[in-house]
């Protein structure tokens, strides 16, 4: 009997266990159904929200687009300083270059008719050795500034620099007088140019960028109008200098290239000037390595063409911006290291690129400033009328120089056309035969220096 009772007891307990299991399963299914419908409902709610956003779109701000405070169309009260340097009295007629350069700047300023928005003031910084030939520039509207070299050669501590700088480049230590442009702190921006330069378009895009306050920017400044040589490189928010390189002075593999000495846009600053003075005085220019053992040697490397890249490439990176030499400071140079044959340059790109632009193919309309180095001086009366790449652009640039000279003389009440018959239409009558002796200079007295 006891055994039977135990079996019956088990039978009575078995249904209770089944009920418990079934109850648990029912509870689980109820919870699962609730969770499933909650998720489905959430998705439908999200779809409704998305539909509402499409019906009432809200366009977010695009952070990739530059948003800046607009620059005034006519920057009231902003006068840019333009400076030239005279290191001595050479063979070239200084007044011819100075007169036409100044008028080209005038035409590209707020006073001209080609869209310039900035006023200008002209300076001629001259070494005592150039005082005689600098004097006539006063009548052309230049303010004359007499300056010695920033550092006397005898005060240079570095032996190699002290013993060799006077024979370096075109003008020896006197070329450093160009650094005096940094002392013109009465201007927010100064442009230093050589006398054989011609301005064909306003430089306002450079001035705008230099004058913008980085604290006013919501994002990166729009530099699309600035002809930057290497657009992919990091750009400063507040540039302190614009320059071009002279790739012809060194081989393609040279890491640090010279700056071309005929063009520099700078932010005047006495602290920067004093730093240049300290660099020169220390004289860390090495025979094989140049400035700091890094920049040089090359033509003019001990002076302006070497110390500027040393400052902006080594000591103060990302403060200077290299511009396209095909647009600014255009010299019509061969982009490769061998001769040009049948309009095709041979050899390696001097920029060390696989493919490189030939600046000689640039349309005249693209050129902002031209520099008459390889093209030779406009007052040499060279027609350059051969149909080859070495002369096509040069001929057009020379024609522009003589056109602007004519415009200058017309502004003085003259006819603007000279009596010369040598390629009269091309040279506007300013040449009577080929060469420097064939050039007919601008007659004195000069007209109104305000134009």
All structural domains of the chain: 79-322 (3.90.550)
Which residues make beta-bridge pairs with 143?
123
Q: What is the distance between the alpha carbons of residues 33 and 16, in angstroms, rounded to a whole number?
A: 26
Distances (CA, A) of 22 to 19, 32, 54: 5, 15, 48
- Which residues lie across from 198 on neighbouring strands? 370
Q: Is the model's pLDDT at 439 over the cut of 50?
A: yes
Query: Could you give the C-alpha distances from 258 to 25, 135, 170, 415, in angstroms and in order?
Result: 85, 31, 14, 43
pLDDT band at 449 (very low <50, low <70, confident <90, very high): confident
389-411 vs 94-107: helix axis angle to the nearest 10?
80
Q: Where are the beta strands (DSSP E) in 88-216?
A: 119-126, 142-146, 190-193, 197-199
Give the model confidence (pLDDT) of 134-154 as tens digits: 999 999 999 999 999 999 999
Using the predicted structure, report yes or no on whether residue 57 has a pLDDT greater than 50: no
What pLDDT is attached to residue 74?
55
User: Does residue 109 carry a pLDDT above 80?
Assistant: yes
Dist. CA 75–CA 91, nearest whole Å: 40
The confidence band for 254, taking pLDDT boundaries of 50, 70 and 90, is very high
Lowest mean pLDDT of 9-18, 145-154, 372-381, name the range: 9-18
Beta strands in 213-303 (DSSP E): 241-245, 259-266, 285-286, 290-291
Residue in 247, 196, 198 with CA at minimum distance from that of residue 86 = 196
**Does 70 have pLDDT greater than 80?**
no
> pTM for the whole thing?
0.84
Comparing C-alpha atoms, which of 187, 174, 178, 204 is closest to residue 71?
204
Question: What is the pLDDT, as a whole number, of residue 54?
Answer: 34
The pLDDT of residue 63 is: 35
Q: Which two tokens stand for residue 440?
A: 């007919």
Please state the rounded mean pLDDT for residues 395-405: 98
The sign of the torsion formed by the CA atoms of 36, 40, 45, 49 equals positive
- Within 10 Å of residue 55's Cβ, how many Cβ atoms? 7
Name the residue with tokens 């003085």: 412
């Amino acid at each position: 009997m006891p055994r039977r009772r135990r079996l019956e007891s088990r039978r009575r307990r078995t249904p209770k266990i089944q009920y418990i299991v079934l109850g648990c399963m029912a509870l689980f299914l109820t919870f699962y159904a609730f969770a499933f419908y909650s998720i489905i409902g959430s998705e439908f709610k999200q779809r409704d929200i998305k539909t509402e956003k499409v019906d009432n779109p809200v366009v977010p701000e695009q952070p990739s687009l530059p948003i800046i405070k607009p620059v005034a169309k006519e920057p009231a009260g902003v006068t840019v300083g333009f400076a030239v340097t005279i290191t001595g009295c050479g063979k070239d007629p200084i007044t011819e270059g100075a007169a036409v350069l100044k008028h080209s700047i005038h035409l590209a300023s707020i006073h001209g008719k080609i869209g310039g928005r900035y006023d200008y003031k002209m300076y001629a910084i001259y070494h005592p050795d150039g005082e005689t030939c600098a004097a006539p520039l006063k009548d052309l509207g230049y303010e004359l500034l007499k300056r010695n070299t920033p550092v006397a050669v005898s005060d240079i501590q570095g032996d190699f620099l002290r013993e060799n700088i006077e024979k370096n480049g075109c003008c020896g230590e006197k070329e450093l007088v160009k650094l005096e442009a940094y002392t013109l702190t009465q201007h927010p921006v100064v442009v230093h140019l050589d006398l054989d330069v011609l301005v064909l378009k306003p430089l306002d895009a450079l001035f705008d960028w230099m004058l913008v306050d980085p604290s006013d920017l919501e994002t990166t400044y729009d530099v699309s109008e600035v002809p930057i040589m290497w657009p992919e490189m990091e750009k400063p928010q507040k540039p302190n200098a614009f320059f071009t390189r002279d790739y012809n002075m060194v081989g393609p593999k040279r890491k640090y290239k010279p700056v071309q000495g005929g063009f520099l846009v700078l932010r005047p600053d006495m602290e920067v000037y004093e730093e240049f003075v300290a660099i020169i005085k220390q004289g860390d220019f090495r025979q094989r390595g140049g400035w700091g053992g890094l920049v040089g040697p090359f033509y003019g490397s001990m002076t302006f063409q070497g110390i500027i890249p040393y400052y902006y490439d080594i000591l103060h990176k990302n403060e200077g911006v290299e511009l396209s030499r095909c647009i600014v400071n255009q010299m019509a140079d061969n982009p490769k290291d061998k001769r040009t044959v049948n309009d095709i340059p041979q050899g390696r790109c001097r920029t060390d690129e696989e493919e490189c632009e030939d600046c000689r193919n640039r349309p005249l309309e693209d050129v902002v400033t031209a520099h008459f180095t390889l093209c030779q001086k406009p007052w040499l009366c060279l027609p350059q009328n051969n149909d080859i790449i070495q002369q096509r652009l040069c001929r057009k640039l020379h024609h522009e120089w003589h056109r602007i000279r004519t415009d200058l003389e017309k502004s003085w009440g003259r006819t603007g056309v000279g009596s010369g018959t040598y390629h009269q239409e091309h040279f506007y009558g300013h040449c009577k035969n080929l060469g420097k002796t064939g050039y007919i200079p601008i007659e004195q007295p000069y007209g109104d220096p305000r134009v």
